[in-house]
Each structure stands twice: as structure tokens, then as C-alpha cells.
Chains A and B, each alone.
Chain A
Amino acid sequence: MRAKWILLAKIQLMGLLGFNRARKTDDPSVRRKAIGGAVAFAIVSLIMLAYITLFAIVFCGLGLTEAVPATAIALAAVITFFFSLLQGSSMLFALKDYDAVMSLPVSRRAVIGSRLLVSYLVNLLFCLGVMIPVTAVYFVFAGFSFGALATIFAATLFAPLLPVVVATALSTLLTALTAGLRFKGLLQGILGLLMLVAIFLLSFSLSFAMQTDATGNLTAAADVLAQYIYPPAQWITLTLSGEGVWGIFAFIGVSLAAAALFVLFIAPFYSKINAALLNHGARVAYKKGDIKSSSAFFSLLRKEFKKLFSSSSYLMNGVAGTLLLIIAGVALLFVDAKSVIDLLISESEAEAPFLVEVLENRLPYMAAGLLIVFTGMSCPAASALSLEGSSRGQLFAMPVSTRTIFLAKSTPTFLLNAIGSLFVSAVLCAKLGTSADGWTIMLGTAVVFSAFTGIFGIYLNYKFPKYDWKTEAAVVKQSAPVTIFTLGAMLLGFAVCALSVLGWYAVVAVDAVCIVLCVTLIAHFGKLHLYV
């Protein structure tokens, strides 16, 4: 008989991935949507695989073959940690099926273990996506050996465990500290974002300190990642280079021990934290002044903002990219970017003259590509419809057009992203002393892609809705529209960044297509009806 925690995890995964529903449904449209989502996800994943393969080839070509697996694992672990932190503790606490699960004859440890297993498996999929192409490239350059294959396979298998455990433990701490408060969702979201900023600043300062000592080459950069940002990754290099077989066992041991300790430590507090989260405090009457009226659009918009700021996982996932943009903007304020670029130009004149033109004239266009990457990371609109969940019937029964609903749902995405990206664009252009066309392109892209993120995000959510969730994290972090949009924007942004070496054409083309799509979609929204 299978362990109960594995059975619990299996049930959660069935709900999360939606395969079972697609397999068993009589409704062809549900199956079509599931297949469509899988195909879109597969296309984006294939492009991502191509990117990773390309990066791995470039690294190996530069003579960094030995460091490539550990660097890739460290990178995958850092990304897993980042996204697990964004997810917060929502996979663990206050799930809709809490009462049902806790009434089963299973221990709290089994429940926690099953929740952790699901988080781990979802992140493992991502790590496999990174490590499979990297391993293939590694063997092409370093030659194949069963020992290395076993080491990389074991390392990949356990790579997401420690980041998931550490991120969940930090989020659990925040949840436990705020569980009894009235505005816990907002507080958890803000504290989570502050924690994210602190961790980022800490890791940046560490890597900065390391790089000043290093020779400044790519080997040093890879080492920074493996040694300072994710130290266990260097144990893998030890085993791969034959310096110590113990390295991989230490990596596995530390990962498993952290998971076991977390489950054992949280179990006694699990019910208490859930009870505090589900306890809603004293009665509060209303005052006459609380009765206010506004238009349907602004009322919907206010509801969307309230939703965004009442759920920690929605807030953290919804504004992560915007926050990174604002951090980048603030950091830029304290950096003499012009002098750095001038120094790079003078160094490039002799060794790489083609870089001079890029550094002098193309940086704003390339930065616009990066703007697309980070804006795409903040797309609350891609989950705004799914979050209506079982209450969607109420919204759909209201006498307002689908266009009004969709515009209200996409506006927070647009506003938050526009604020963040306009700020960083203005700082960057001012610091670089950019010409008028550079300013126009950066500010234009900031507004256009922010609008596109909102409009296309809600459209993707309309095409691939997921209403039967048990935790909001399943929608705001792991649903098809969010994944497709985030990865798609990442790939598009990097492509724009690379193509901008040639001039402004790529970014202007992307902006033009985004404008056309926005106008078309807004017109199309007027013809749609929402059904449960």
C-alpha cells in the first residue's frame, strides 16, 4: 500500500495539472483547451530549451565545461528559490481543502510532506528542463561517462529540494507571525516582498564583493553563482572533477535533511497556524459613510486592487517583475552609468570595435528588451479571471459587458507595470544621456508592453481558465496563462535584446505588433460572453 502522503500529493497534482479532468471529461471543449494549453506550453518550453542549449554551448566553447553543470544547477536552484518565495506558504496553509484533508486519518506530517512534495515536483520539472540540454552539451564537450551522468542526474533530482524548503520555511515564518492579524494577506505580501528585496540586495552585494577580487572573467562569474549564491552546487563540481565522491552525497544529504527537519519542525504548529489564519476576529459594524457609489468600471477596478493586495501569493507573483524594475531603477540612481559605459567604450575601441557602436547607440534598445522580460514577469491579469474561482457565477451574472470586466481586470497590471518600467526607463535614459529617439523607444515600450501585458494576459486567462483551484498559488504561479506569458515575454525580450545590436527595428516592430494586438483584442472583448 502506498504511503498516505504520496496519495495526498497525487490528488493535489491531479487537481493542479488538470490532466485527469482532461482525460475523463465528456466535454470536448475542456479537452481542446487542455490540449491547446499543453501545446502552447510545449512550444514555449522548446524555445526555452533552445536558449539554454545555446548558452551551454557558448559557456563550453569558452572553456568553462567543468563548471557548466554546477553553474546550471545553481542557477536553477536560485530561480526555484525565487519563485518558491513568490509562492509563499500558500501551498501549505489555508487551502480550500484543509478541513477535508485534516479530517482524514493522516498525520500532520503526512499532510505537510505531501504539500512539500507537490511543490518539489513542480519545480523539478523546471530543473529537468534546464539540466537535460545542459547535460547533453556537457557530454558533447567533456565526453560521456556513466559516473558523470549518475552525478548530474542525482544532483538534478535533488536540486530543487533545498531551495523549496528554505523558501517555504521563510514564508511559513512570515505566515506564522501575521496569521492572527486582520490584514494578514496584505502584511504577508509586503513582508514577503521586503524579504525578497533584502535577499536580492544581499546576494548582489556578495557577488559584487567577489567580483572585485576576481579576474573579471566568466569563470569568476560562474564561481560566484556556485560558491556564494548557492554554495552546495560546488560539491557537485568536486564529484565531477574527481576531487571528492562525497560531494554529491553531501548535496543529497543536506537537501533531504532540510526537508525532513522542516516537516518535523512545522508539524506541531501546523493546525495552530491554520486555525489562526481561518479565525477572522471580532464583529465590525458599518458606518453610514461606508456607503459609497461609483461607476461599474471603477468598482470592478477597486475590487481587482483589493484582491491583489489581500492575497500575499497574488501580490508577490503579480508585482515581482515590477519590483525588480524599481529596484534596478533605484540602484541605477547611485551608479555613474555614463562613466562605466565610457570606460567600456574606450576599452572596446582597440579589442572589439564593433562593441563601440553598440555601447554608444544601441543600449536603450537593448534595455527595452530587458524591460519586456521583467514586465512579463508581472502579469496578475493572466490569473485574474481564474481567481474568481467558484464565485465567478456572481460576476458573470452582473449587468456589465465582458469588455468592461476584462479592462478592469487588466488595468492593475498595466498601471503597476507602467509605473515601474517608466521609472527605470527614465532613470536609465537620464543616466546614459540618451538621445531623443532612445527616450521615445524606451518610454514607448514601457507603456505599450505594460498595456499589452494586461490585455493579452486577461485574454490568455479567458482562453485557458482554471477555476477549480484549492490554493491561489496554483493559479497565480503555476497556471498555463501565467507560465506561457512569463516565459513568452522572457524569450521575446531576450530576442529583442539580441537583435537590438543591429538597431531599433526589433523593438519598434514588437511595439507595433503589441499596439495592433491590443486594439484588436479590446474590439474582440466586446463580442465575448462569459459563461461558467
Chain B
Amino acid sequence: MKEKILEIRNLSKSYGKGKKAVDDLSLDVYAGDIYGFIGQNGAGKTTTLRAVTGILEFDGGEIFIDGKSVKKQPVACKAVTAYIPDNPDLYEYLTGIQYLNFIGDMFNVGKAERSARIEKYADMFRIAGDLGSLVSAYSHGMKQKLAIIGALLHAPKLMVLDEPFVGLDPEAAFKLKQVFREMCDAGSAIFFSTHVLDVAEKLCNKIAIIKGGKLMASGDIDAVRGDESLESVFMEVLEKDAR
């Protein structure tokens, strides 16, 4: 039996007066899962991801990471999670290496591990030659790469990413998928949102489709799509009312 890394139970979140962004959503992510989270703009994907990472307070339900409650033990949950938002706004007044040192300190990463991982991933994403520059000098893609290296620095059990492939060059996107697979082989889990159905179809072993804050379909990708393409299933699901 695989270890349950993320458990979302009846998650609900409203903005303002009764406008439900997420409505009674439940799903589980196990060690080794690459779990894709798809939906239209405004469907509730980012709200769910932010609630999982403990930076957005939610109204109802519970979220457990590695068996611990995000509400009751937020610091312990954050210590095993990495989050990359859709548009990483990094500290522009730090250099790349200062930023990575900062993240390493926050997550208590030892100097030797830190050094090895920075070297490995900075070379992999071809950013080593820029780590001495201020983050403000980076392009969007470079910031994205730096955020990814920062997220990988503490070898998280759960990686939560919001549209991770936007802004990455094809080589970096390929490398990131490789890293996802390596992490999952090592017992971590990936939970990410995407609009690119091709990526989800080829990369994920599990998929969840959200519409209007409600979970419309979820589970093993083969079970969800059956004999059809993910695109067809997604379009069909969007036409249906919430189950």
C-alpha cells in the first residue's frame, strides 16, 4: 500500500458573499503520484493549491499532508511541501544564489546537500552562470527555473505547482518532467495544475477535473478517459452538471 501524502477532505472556500470558489472537494494523492489538476480559468484550481500549501485560509473541510493537518500543524506541513505559484514573484533585490541560500535556511537544508543540489539543478536548468546576478535581471523563464530549484532544494515529499510549464523553454520543460519522474520514483508526490492537456495526458498517472469549484472527475488517468482522449473527456465533463 502506497503512503498517502496529500488528503483533501470536503474542502470548501468562498470569497465574499457566498461565491464558492471550491465546493466540497475531496481527493487523495499518494507517494509516486503525478497528479494533474485541470479546469477552466476561475474553476478553483489555484484556490485549491493555495489552500493545500497553507497560505489560503479555507472555510470548511480538512487538508492533511503526510498525515498532519494543514490547519493545526501548518509549519510541519510546509516543511515537507514545496510550492511554485503560476507567476513566481521572487525577491528581486537578492541574487539567485542569495535567494537559494535563503530558501535553504528556511527549510533547514544542510550545507553539503544544499551545495550538491544547487550544482545539480543549476546545471540541469542551465542557470548556473546567472546565479550571481540579481533576480530582477532574470527573464520570466529564468525566475521560473530559479523557483523550481528553490522548490527542489529540500527534497520535498509533496510538490505543489501552479501551471509549472508556462514560460519554460522546451528543454527546461523536458528536464522538469524528468525531475518529476525521479522524485516520484524516490517516493515523493507531485500535484500540479495545467491547461495543457497533452502534458497532463503524457505525464500524469492521475487526473482531477474541476468545474465551478466542484470536482467533476478524478482518479487514474486511464479510468477517467477510458478509450477517449483527455481533451474529449474534458470537453464532455465541462458540458455536464456537477455530479
| B229, CB-defined interface residue at 8 Å | no
Q: Are the C-beta atoms of A394 and B129 separated by less than 8 Å?
A: no
Q: Are the C-beta atoms of A281 and B16 separated by less than 8 Å?
A: no
Q: Are the C-beta atoms of B114 and A291 separated by less than 8 Å?
A: yes
- Over the window 301-313 of chain A, the binary record of Cβ atoms lying under 8 Å from chain B Cβ atoms (1 yes, 0 no) is 0110011001100
| Chain A residues with CB below 8 A from B50, complex form | 393, 532
Q: Are the C-beta atoms of A280 and B131 separated by less than 8 Å?
A: no
A462 to chain B, nearest CB (A): 14
Most buried by A among B88, B93, B98, B110: B93
Select B128's contact among A26, A286, A310, A529, beta carbons within 8 Å: A286
A391 to chain B, nearest CB (A): 4
Q: Are the C-beta atoms of A529 and B93 separated by less than 8 Å?
A: no
Binding stretch for chain A, among B72-80, B177-185, B212-220? B72-80
Q: Are the C-beta atoms of A398 and B130 separated by less than 8 Å?
A: no
Q: Are the C-beta atoms of B137 and A285 separated by less than 8 Å?
A: no
Q: Are the C-beta atoms of A299 and B130 separated by less than 8 Å?
A: no
- Interface SS of chain A: loop
| Chain A residues with CB below 8 A from B129, complex form | 283, 285
| B205, CB-defined interface residue at 8 Å | no
| Chain B residues with CB below 8 A from A399, complex form | 75-79, 106-107
| A400, CB-defined interface residue at 8 Å | yes
Select A394's contact among B89, B98, B101, B130, beta carbons within 8 Å: B89
| A295, CB-defined interface residue at 8 Å | yes
Q: Are the C-beta atoms of A280 and B137 separated by less than 8 Å?
A: yes
Q: Which of chain A's residues has its CB closest to B136's CB? A: A280
Q: Are the C-beta atoms of B101 and A291 separated by less than 8 Å?
A: yes
| Interface hits, A254-302 → B, CB 8 Å | 280-288, 290-296, 298-300, 302
Q: Are the C-beta atoms of B108 and A286 separated by less than 8 Å?
A: no
| A321, CB-defined interface residue at 8 Å | no
Q: Are the C-beta atoms of A290 and B136 separated by less than 8 Å?
A: no
> In the bound complex, what is the Cα–Cα distance between A274 and B102 (angstroms)?
29
- Over the window 504-532 of chain A, the binary record of Cβ atoms lying under 8 Å from chain B Cβ atoms (1 yes, 0 no) is 00000000000000000000000001111
| Interface hits, A381-424 → B, CB 8 Å | 389-391, 393-394, 396-401
| Chain A residues with CB below 8 A from B134, complex form | 182, 280
B95 to chain A, nearest CB (A): 7
> In the bound complex, what is the Cα–Cα distance between A391 and B91 (angstroms)?
7
Q: Are the C-beta atoms of A185 and B75 separated by less than 8 Å?
A: no
Known A-B contacts A299-B106, A393-B85, A531-B57; the reply to A291 vs B115 at CB < 8 A is yes
Q: Are the C-beta atoms of B83 and A397 separated by less than 8 Å?
A: yes
Q: Are the C-beta atoms of B130 and A284 separated by less than 8 Å?
A: yes
Q: Are the C-beta atoms of A394 and B88 separated by less than 8 Å?
A: yes
Size of interface on A: residues with Cβ below 8 Å to B: 46
| A27, CB-defined interface residue at 8 Å | yes
| A217, CB-defined interface residue at 8 Å | no
Q: Are the C-beta atoms of A281 and B97 separated by less than 8 Å?
A: no
B19 to chain A, nearest CB (A): 6
| B109, CB-defined interface residue at 8 Å | yes
Report, as a range, how many residues of chain B touch the other chain: 35 or more
- Over the window 57-76 of chain B, the binary record of Cβ atoms lying under 8 Å from chain A Cβ atoms (1 yes, 0 no) is 10000000000000000111
| B164, CB-defined interface residue at 8 Å | no
| B175, CB-defined interface residue at 8 Å | no
| Chain B residues with CB below 8 A from A389, complex form | 89
B62 to chain A, nearest CB (A): 15
Q: Are the C-beta atoms of B89 and A396 separated by less than 8 Å?
A: no
Most buried by B among A299, A396, A399: A399
> In the bound complex, what is the Cα–Cα distance between A290 and B96 (angstroms)?
10
Q: Are the C-beta atoms of A281 and B137 separated by less than 8 Å?
A: yes
Q: Are the C-beta atoms of B95 and A284 separated by less than 8 Å?
A: yes
Q: Which of chain B's residues has its CB closest to A281's CB? A: B137
Q: Are the C-beta atoms of B133 and A284 separated by less than 8 Å?
A: yes
- Over the window 1-39 of chain B, the binary record of Cβ atoms lying under 8 Å from chain A Cβ atoms (1 yes, 0 no) is 000000000000001110100000000000000000000
Most buried by B among A391, A393, A532: A393
> In the bound complex, what is the Cα–Cα distance between A286 and B99 (angstroms)?
12
Q: List 27 A-B contacts (CB under 8 A).
A: A28-B17, A280-B133, A280-B134, A280-B136, A281-B137, A284-B95, A286-B97, A290-B132, A291-B111, A293-B110, A293-B111, A296-B105, A296-B106, A389-B89, A391-B90, A393-B50, A393-B55, A394-B83, A396-B55, A398-B78, A398-B107, A399-B79, A399-B107, A529-B54, A529-B74, A531-B55, A531-B56
Closest 8 CB pairs of A and B: A26-B16, A280-B137, A299-B105, A284-B132, A399-B79, A310-B93, A286-B131, A391-B89
Interfacial residues, chain A to chain B (CB-CB below 8 A)? 25-28, 182, 185, 280-288, 290-296, 298-300, 302-303, 306-307, 310-311, 389-391, 393-394, 396-401, 529-532
Given contacts A28-B17, A285-B128, A299-B102, 19 further A-B contacts (CB under 8 A): A26-B17, A26-B19, A285-B129, A286-B96, A286-B128, A287-B132, A290-B98, A290-B101, A291-B100, A291-B101, A291-B115, A292-B101, A299-B105, A299-B106, A303-B91, A390-B89, A397-B55, A529-B54, A529-B57
